[in-house]
């Protein structure tokens, strides 16, 4: 199983490639593409927070892990997952907003 930095690197590379591909084709605005990038990054952060939460609750992970059955990582994982969810919500807000037309 790949380690966490490899998974994070692959996720960031995939989001970046999708961003530049869509921008090159001219199919999306800067705000929408930034929102989609934030959604991807937030999803990765929320997934890791959920994993840390589950390890702290002794549901997943090896018994030799310092996070396994550790109440501190239950709290840390919940906070990290909540931050990821907030980033996802912010990305959705950016991607669906419409620019205002200036009135002359």
**pLDDT exceeds cutoff 70 at 28:** no
The residue among 24 and 69 whose pLDDT is bigger is 69
Q: What is the pLDDT of residue 56?
A: 92
Tell me if the pTM is above 0.75. Answer: no
- Tell me the angle at which helices 71-96 and 30-56 cross, rounded to the nearest 10 degrees: 160
Q: What is the pLDDT of residue 57?
A: 92
Burial class (CB in 10 A: 0-12, 13-18, 19+), 52: buried
Q: Residue 58, by phi and psi: left (phi above 0), alpha (psi -120 to 50) or beta?
A: left
Q: What is the pLDDT of residue 99?
A: 63
What's the pLDDT tens digit per position in 54-81? 999 999 888 888 889 999 999 999 999 9
């Amino acid at each position: 199983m790949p380690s966490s930095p490899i998974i994070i690197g692959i996720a960031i590379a995939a989001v970046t490639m999708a961003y530049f591909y869509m921008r090159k084709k001219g199919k999306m605005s800067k705000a929408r593409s930034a929102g989609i990038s934030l959604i991807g990054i937030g999803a990765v952060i929320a997934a890791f927070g959920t994993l840390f939460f589950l390890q702290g609750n002794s549901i997943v992970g090896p018994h030799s892990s310092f996070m396994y059955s550790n109440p501190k990582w239950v709290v840390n994982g919940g906070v990290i997952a909540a931050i990821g969810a907030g980033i996802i919500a912010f990305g959705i807000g950016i991607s669906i907003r419409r620019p205002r037309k200036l009135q002359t």
